[in-house]
Amino acid sequence: MKKVRFGKTGLMVSRVAFGGIPIQRISVPDAVGVVRKAIDLGVNFIDTANGYGDSEEKIGLAIKDTPRADLVLASKSMARDKKTLAEHIDLSLMRLGVDYLDLYQLHNVSTPQGREAAFAEGGAYEALTEAVAAGKVRFLGFSSHNIPLAMRIMQEIDFSTVQLPFNYVDDSAANEAIPLAEELDMGFIAMKPFGGGLLSDAGLSIKYLLQFDSIVPDPGIERLTEIEEIVRVVESVESGEGLTAVDRAAIDKVREEMGDRWCHRCDYCQPCPAKVGISTVLTVESFIRRMSYDGIITLARQGIETGRNCVECRACVSRCPYKLDIPKLIKEKMDIWDRYLAEHK
């Protein structure tokens, strides 16, 4: 598979990455098999996180016989304080069975409060810089669901990479964030290339993203058939088969069907007077599609349950740039959540 320069890191990475979140749902042998298959097919960039259940351990087992120099390994943490972030880096190294990580990212820096905590004295960023000095991490990055906030961080802090949502429906990063990353020579990781499970056609999704030479799509992979299909699409694009008129018409149809009834996770609707984690509640289906039951309970249940606090004051509606009927959507998503819980009793 073709390799591309990953921004100022200078690393040469595969045209697509392997996203490690879904393998927490499958058995160890199956997870090891799918990671090794990806490597065999030419994928050398593997991205996971401290909070993705046992994803790091499974990846560690899968890569133990692969020369370390052949891989670009990335992980990330939601910790915002120095002590916890440093512990998470060491834990990632142990789980993955490696001496260093090519990239470590502050995970989901999407609110002003989270940003302030991470970069304050004694914050997580201090642990990142110390990890680089100690040789535990080579390059630093961050991920976010708030593009305007992310762009401020990109200009203020000397990160090597940024990871933002980007797909043919949630395409706002194309206007300013991707050009800014190119200007700053930052590697750009496109998270949610399938819209967190909302977009089912891998061909459309990957071909759309590969129009952008400077980005690396990071699809979550769970099955052998998924990575095989994605690599086939990449190879077809590399051989000159881009988006066709039929593809573009199909994309336009999906965009029209989805309309404005989905959450972009910009969090402009916040703060909620009733303390509802609106973007978490409105993306409950994405959690269900991508994560194991235990993973959802550990990482997301507390946030999802805040949907029960909604008093339909509609303060959020006036703030939403996409004019979503948020209280109505919260009711719909909580019904989905309750059905999911009932199925797992």
Instruction: Give the tens place of pLDDT for each residue, 247-275.
Output: 999 999 988 877 767 887 777 798 999 99
Q: For residues 232 and 199, which has the higher predicted lDDT (pLDDT)?
A: 232
Q: Considering the chain, what percentage of its residues have pLDDT values greater than 90? A: 81
Assess contact for 312 and 327: CB atoms under 8 A: yes
CB atoms within 10 A of CB 102: 22
Assess contact for 163 and 143: CB atoms under 8 A: yes
One-letter amino acid of 297? I
Is the per-residue pLDDT at 197 higher than 90? no
Beta bridge partners of 104: 75, 140
Q: Considering the chain, what percentage of its residues have pLDDT values greater than 70? A: 99
Phi-psi group of 270: left, alpha or beta (phi > 0 → left; psi -120 to 50 → alpha; rest → beta):
beta
Q: What is the dihedral of CA 96, 51, 291, 297, to 10 degrees?
A: 140
pTM value is 0.83
Chain mean position to CA 323 = 25
Task: Return the pLDDT at 261.
Answer: 75
Task: Return the pLDDT at 260.
Answer: 66
Assess contact for 76 and 106: CB atoms under 8 A: yes
Average the pLDDT over 153-159 and give the result.
97
Q: What are phi and psi of 106, to 5 degrees?
A: -70, 125
What is the distance between the alpha carbons of residues 148 and 133, in angstroms, rounded to a whole number? Answer: 30
Q: What are the tokens at 249?
A: 């018409």
Task: Return the pLDDT at 256.
Answer: 83
Whether residue 148 has a cis bond before it, omega within 30° of 0: no
Task: Return the pLDDT at 264.
Answer: 75
Task: Return the pLDDT at 148.
Answer: 93
